[in-house]
Amino acid sequence: MSAVNTVPGESGLGMLVRCYEGMRNWRAFSLLAIAILCGGASVSLAGILAFQAGFIVSGLFVLVALIVYLAGINGAGLLLLDQADRRPPRTMGAAFVGGLHGTWTSFLAFLLLGLGLAGVFLAMYLLSLLTRLPGVGSLFAFLLAGPGAIVLAFCYGLLAIGTPLMLVAVWRGAGVLGAIGRAIDIVVKRPLDALLHFVVLAILVVPVAAFVMGLLTLTSTLSLSIFSGGTGSIFGGMGSRYGYGGMSGPLDGLMNQFQSAGAASASIGVVMLVLVALFVLVGMFGYIMIHDSLGAGLDANAEERLRGGVSKVRSKLAEHRPQATAGEAPATVAGRACSSCGTRIQDNDRFCGDCGTPA
């Protein structure tokens, strides 16, 4: 797995200072900006069609907007990955197509994470029923509440810290289980390092972004008042005085002022969008550096366990398939025997479903 190139003696935390190099990637910025604009246009069209063509058609446009958003983000991540690895950048078309694939993979990974979190809550609810037993309920509450808090802390930490790491793993070419396993390995084996890296990245990015966006919000108010017709009465009065004000009445002047205000607001919105996209690129580039720094030298044990568990479930399901009746010819058993325990495994299995030995 490739990693972000570092200078000699540069630590992982010191390397995060370079996260602002993500602003220099004009390809990633262009792809992200185009995706945001196209997605916004699709959402606007969905709002227009909601009352004309029905909510089903409107929902399809919203779905298209979501796919375009996510494909743009993942495509920009691939371009940032090329920058981090110091290799020639791929084209924007190839990055967008790769972003579509990454969107599907990340969606499946998020779905699997959501199902896992739902399973944790279901297990905790079932265990909480023990606390309702008369006489011993308080004992079970004492024994289960503390470990339950630890389990929930791990789940929320995995969602908060592991989600960006999982996205970077998808950009690195990992599959669904591989991306989840990579994030779990980093969060479990290096939890304090991961938390510290994300805190440092937030300290580097959030204050600067807040200052720039706050300053722009303050100056946008003044700029909007100037260019939206707020000073139009001055120039309008001068025009009427010197004879070039035209024959327009008060209603025409009011309409022109509204049009100018809309155009000025759109211009300020575009500038805000540019700044948001730039800081998003900074954060994404920082995620890449954190993933590569913390993931260096880690064995993919979590991925192997996940794959072994999936293979085990598949083998158990295969054992309980309907058997052939007496009048039917027995089907040939495909696959081969495990070299360790002798369990029958399929040809496309990478691990034994019983013992987890690589096939």
What are the tens digits of pLDDT across the range 171-191?
A: 998 888 888 888 888 888 888
Q: Token pair for residue 157?
A: 């930490």
Tens digits of per-residue pLDDT, 264-313?
888 888 888 888 889 999 999 999 999 988 887 776 665 566 666 656 65
**Regions of the chain where pLDDT drops below 70:** 1-12, 53-54, 229-255, 299-336, 339-342, 347-348, 350-351, 353-359
167: which residues sit within 8 A by CB, 6+ positions away? 74, 77, 102, 106, 179, 287
**Is the pTM value of this prediction over 0.75?**
no
Characterize the bridge pairing of strands 344-345 and 336-337: antiparallel
pLDDT confidence of residue 240:
43
Q: How far is CA 51 from the centre of its chain?
A: 32
pLDDT confidence of residue 191:
86
Pick the closest to residue 42 from 27, 29, 57 (CA basis).
57
Is the CB of residue 284 less than 8 Å from the CB of residue 276?
Answer: no
pLDDT confidence of residue 13:
72
Neighbours of 8 (CB within 10 A): 4
pLDDT confidence of residue 334:
54
Greatest Cα pair distance in the chain: 106
